[in-house]
């Protein structure tokens, strides 16, 4: 009797030890399911905001998009999310440009920035309209560091990195379509300065 009881106990323990963990694509707890749904709603709303911004081209945050306030809470958080979307897209375009092993590296980076601006014109105008806010100053520096690192500079602590990245952006803007989204406070840079 003891052996049969130990056998059943061992069998149950073995079953528990070999039980498969739940799949991550199917959240188990109510909180996990809610977070999963919220993340997808957040992405859907952000995509709608991007589409509205690109349709309107007025540089105004499309706060009237359904669920925008519920998902983002404040206009500043929405602008930060738009900046992250821009930065991610820009990073992907730069990576694609560099994978092509261009002969003119500086021009490939400028072209990637221009392509990103063409893909997301309304978002670019919103980001330009909010460029002087404290959070955006940091985000702009990150963009400049990305551009400069793609150009070959690596040390982000080096003040030249942000300056080179800024010159790359200014060069991209100087040859882009004129308008409020492409205006710069400094004169256009030349590719020789890169």
DSSP output for 20-42: PPPPTTS--SHHHHHHHHHHHHH
Question: 57-116 pLDDT, tens per residue?
Answer: 999 999 999 999 988 999 999 999 999 999 999 999 999 999 998 889 889 999 999 999
Q: Is 87 a member of any domain?
A: yes
Q: How many CB atoms within 10 Å of residue 32?
A: 13
Q: What is the pLDDT of residues 115-163, one digit of tens each?
A: 999 999 999 999 999 999 988 999 999 999 999 988 887 666 677 888 9
Structural domain that includes position 153: 32-178
Has residue 129 been placed in a domain? Answer: yes
Q: What is each CA distance from 166 to 104, 159, 187, in whole angstroms?
A: 18, 11, 12
Q: How many domains does the chain have?
A: 1
- Compute the distance between CA of residue 166 and CA of residue 182 in angstroms, rounded to an integer: 13
Q: Decide if 21 is inside a domain.
A: no
> What is the DSSP secondary-structure string of 91-152?
HHHHHHHHHT--S-HHHHHHHHHHHHHHHSHHHHHHHHHTTTSHHHHHHHHHHHHHHHHHHT
Residue pLDDT, tens place only, 4-28:
555 555 555 555 545 555 545 555 5
Residue 134 lies in a domain: yes
Q: How far apart are CA 74 and CA 81, in angstroms?
A: 11
Establish if 53 belongs to a structural domain.
Answer: yes
Query: Which pTM does this prediction carry?
Result: 0.72
Residue 184 in any domain: the answer is no
Look at residue 187 and tell me if it is in a domain: no
> Do the domain assignments include residue 172?
yes
């Amino acid at each position: 009797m003891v052996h049969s009881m130990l056998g059943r106990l061992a069998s149950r323990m073995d079953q528990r030890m070999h039980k498969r963990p739940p799949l991550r694509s199917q959240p188990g707890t109510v909180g996990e399911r809610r977070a999963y749904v919220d993340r997808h709603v957040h992405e859907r709303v952000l995509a709608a905001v991007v589409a509205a911004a690109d349709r309107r081209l007025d540089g105004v945050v499309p706060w009237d998009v359904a669920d925008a306030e519920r998902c983002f809470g404040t206009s500043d958080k929405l602008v930060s999310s738009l900046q992250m979307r821009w930065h991610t897209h820009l990073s992907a375009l730069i990576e694609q440009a560099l994978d092509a092993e261009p002969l003119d590296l500086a021009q490939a980076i400028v072209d990637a920035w221009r392509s990103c601006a063409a893909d997301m014109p309304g978002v670019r105008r919103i980001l330009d309209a909010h460029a002087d806010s404290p959070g955006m100053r940091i985000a702009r520096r990150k963009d400049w560091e990305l551009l400069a690192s793609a150009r070959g500079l690596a040390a982000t602590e080096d003040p030249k990195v942000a300056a080179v990245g800024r010159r790359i952006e200014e060069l991209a803007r100087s040859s882009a379509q004129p308008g409020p989204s492409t205006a710069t406070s400094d004169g256009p840079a030349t590719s020789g300065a890169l």
